[in-house]
Amino acid sequence: MIGCRKSTCQVLRIIATIVCLTATVVAKVPNPNYADALTKSILFFEGQRSGKLHSNQRATWRKDSALHDGADKGVDLVGGYYDAGDNIKFHFPMAFTTTMLAWSVEQFKNTMGSDLQHAMEAIRWSTDYFLKATNIPNVVFAQVGNAEADHNCWERPEDMDTPRTTFAVTAQAPGSEVSAEIAAALAAASVVFKPSYPAYSKLLANRAVQVFEFADKYRGSYNDSIGPWVCPFYCNYNGYNDELLWAAAWLLKATRKPIYWNYVKQNIINFKSDIESGLSEFGWDAKHAGINVLISKFVLDNPSNANPFLPYADTFVCSVLPESPTNTVRYTPGGLMYKAGICNMQNPTALSFLLLTYARYMKSRVIRCGNVDVTQKMLIRFARSQVNYILGRNPMNMSYMVGYGTKFPQRIHHRGSSLPSIDQYPEKIGCKEGTPYFLSESSNPNLHIGAVVGGPDIKDYFADSRLSSSQSEPATYVNAPLVGLLAYFKAHP
């Protein structure tokens, strides 16, 4: 540093400090135990179950809840999942969760070992429910529960007394995004169940076809149909064209029928502006990148069908990788993918799943990002870095999965976890009676094992506080793609 300007020396000292901190992180945190994390990531879904629980329920702090859902419409809608730390069943993110759980199993079932059965049960808990939600022709039930009333209370799902209002989309009041995502979930699950439960697989595929036809024929957003009840919680901000393509792509995979290949080829052109506006987006609201990665499996061996799917998928890769000159994604100093908003951790898990999956599809193919050649190994290495960050290799030396490692979130924003279980406190806890537990600085009495929270801020800092829902609330759509990532890295440590 001899002869350098003061500002330059300061920069070099900062760099040196960062290097030392990084070394400290690696030194303090042992190699990730992907097998343990996989088991726990699947167990999480049992803590999110709604309805009548099975006798083999492992998350024993949870009990039966919402046993009369659908009664206000004269239908049976008991079951399904609560999306996050509340007690509402939002079908749009629930369906995406199901699709990603199914894709995780479809891709990585051979490395799941004894966890495979539990993963299949997690999928079926959802698909059994969606069969109920789509049982009436030209009607798709899209939500159960009054979100405003629910979010005004802090009570266990077993105690909730807020309105369990049922909301549906119909031919007269359509909801193409939620309907198409449910179709995608049913189609993806049919692929998973086909080898071992062919009759159930066929039932799922047939229902997926019916629901997709409804979504496509009666086009419209559920924002306009039931918006006052789904917004601002799960508004659709990206339109419904991506969900229609996504569902068709999964139906192609499930049925191998040319009609779906023709639909995808034609509408990738018709929806061009929508797709190109979100090539780096993937999550419960945006399926753009996922469509192209999923379809790439079909076209990599057939160059005549490569356009525009492979170019779009490559653009996605180049927009995410930090070493790419066309990168558009922000990262924390510790290396975590970051997008401002509620529950950032859905971005690292979902996008990393796509990168890992695309890497396995592309094999020896090289992607050109400006002057950087991107290989399969680079994509896998990046996905591993995001998973390792979640499991503790980060500046906080903290696992963001509850119950994994020695240091993890203790005060997650989750009603059932933060209130004493019925086993410990059998008396009813009313709407506002749970508020002292919400405000308490004590650790949650029920360990929601496997729950991955929203995570740190842009500076890698995590406030372990129930009050900070964006950081401390878990969600099913965070864990679903993580299941596949962990299954792969378990076999490739």
pLDDT in tens, 239-273: 999 999 999 999 999 999 999 999 999 999 989 98
Q: Do 204 and 75 sit in the same domain of this protein?
A: yes
pLDDT of residue 410: 98
Query: What pLDDT, in 10s, does the model give residues 73-99?
Result: 999 999 999 999 999 999 999 999 999
Q: Catalytic one among 91, 118, 288, 413? A: 413
pLDDT of residue 14: 35
Range of the domain at 347: 321-411+448-492
Give the number of domains in the chain. 2
pLDDT of residue 122: 98
Q: Do 418 and 465 sit in the same domain of this protein?
A: no
pLDDT of residue 29: 66
- 123 is a domain residue: yes
- 257 is a domain residue: no
Confidence (pTM): 0.93
pLDDT of residue 277: 87
- 134 is a domain residue: yes
pLDDT of residue 30: 75
pLDDT in tens for each of the 493 residues of the chain? 333 333 333 333 333 333 333 433 444 667 999 999 999 999 999 999 999 999 999 999 999 999 999 999 999 999 999 999 999 999 999 999 999 999 999 999 999 999 999 999 999 999 999 999 999 999 999 999 999 999 999 999 999 999 999 999 999 999 999 999 999 999 999 999 999 999 999 999 999 999 999 999 999 999 999 999 999 999 999 999 999 999 999 999 999 999 999 999 999 998 998 888 888 899 999 999 999 999 999 998 787 899 999 999 999 999 999 999 999 999 999 999 999 878 999 999 999 999 999 999 998 999 999 999 999 999 999 999 999 999 999 999 999 999 999 999 999 999 999 999 999 999 999 999 999 999 999 999 999 999 999 999 999 999 999 999 999 999 999 999 999 999 999 999 9
Q: Do 366 and 403 sit in the same domain of this protein?
A: yes
CA 446 to chain CA centroid, Å, is 23
Q: Do 192 and 66 sit in the same domain of this protein?
A: yes
Q: Do 419 and 375 sit in the same domain of this protein?
A: no
- 278 is a domain residue: no
- 288 is a domain residue: no
Q: Do 402 and 430 sit in the same domain of this protein?
A: no
Q: Do 338 and 407 sit in the same domain of this protein?
A: yes
- 484 is a domain residue: yes
Q: Do 377 and 431 sit in the same domain of this protein?
A: no
- 433 is a domain residue: yes
- Decide if 249 contacts 295 (C-beta within 8 A): yes
- 312 is a domain residue: no
pLDDT of residue 87: 97
CATH of the domain at 164: 1.50.10.10
Q: Do 334 and 222 sit in the same domain of this protein?
A: no
Q: Do 203 and 159 sit in the same domain of this protein?
A: yes
pLDDT of residue 454: 97
Q: Do 88 and 161 sit in the same domain of this protein?
A: yes
413 is catalytic: yes
Q: Do 213 and 346 sit in the same domain of this protein?
A: no
- Decide if 282 contacts 351 (C-beta within 8 A): yes
